[in-house]
């Protein structure tokens, strides 16, 4: 039978790999959305807050809240294994999923905004043209 410390160590390896997958999810969202500096900083802050809570929850649930050095080693090994073995494919998968979600959301938004665009063209554009026409006429009279 496996000792409790060994089981916790293996769980921490899985936790480190899961956190790395979460990081890849944030990376894929950043790549798909082409975020600015502020959005990148916000998403990094959100990731680290989530990671801190997730690690604390893992330590609390699987080792009774006792934080040991081998748990840190387990998380680091999980991250290293994930980035060496899985990250390339998981990142591509996340990127594909997020891009398709964004395309679908854009399509839904286009469908929802179509009646408003139609109303804009019927109601606002003619009024705008008439106002601009009157402004041009007033300017022409001033220049004469």
How far lies 88's CA from each of 20, 46, 84, 95, 102, in Å?
12, 23, 8, 11, 21
CA 113 to chain centre: 24
pLDDT in tens, 119-137: 888 888 888 888 888 888 8
Instruction: Please name which of 27, 19, 74, 21 lies closest in space to residue 48, comparing C-alpha atoms.
Output: 19
Rounded to two decimals, the pTM is 0.75
pLDDT in tens, 21-36: 999 999 999 888 887 8
């Amino acid at each position: 039978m496996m000792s409790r410390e060994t089981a916790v160590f293996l769980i921490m390896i899985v936790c480190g790999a899961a956190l790395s997958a979460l990081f890849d999810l944030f990376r894929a969202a950043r790549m798909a959305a082409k975020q600015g500096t502020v959005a990148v900083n916000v998403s990094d802050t959100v990731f680290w807050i989530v990671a801190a809570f997730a690690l604390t929850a893992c330590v609390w649930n699987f080792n009774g809240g006792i934080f040991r050095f081998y748990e840190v080693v387990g998380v680091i090994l999980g991250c290293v294994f994930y980035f060496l073995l899985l990250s390339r494919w998981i990142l591509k998968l996340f990127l594909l999923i997020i891009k398709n979600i964004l395309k679908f959301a854009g399509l839904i938004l286009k469908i929802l905004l179509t009646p408003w665009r139609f109303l804009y063209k019927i109601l606002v554009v003619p009024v705008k043209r008439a106002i601009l026409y009157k402004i041009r006429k007033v300017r022409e009279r001033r220049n004469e």
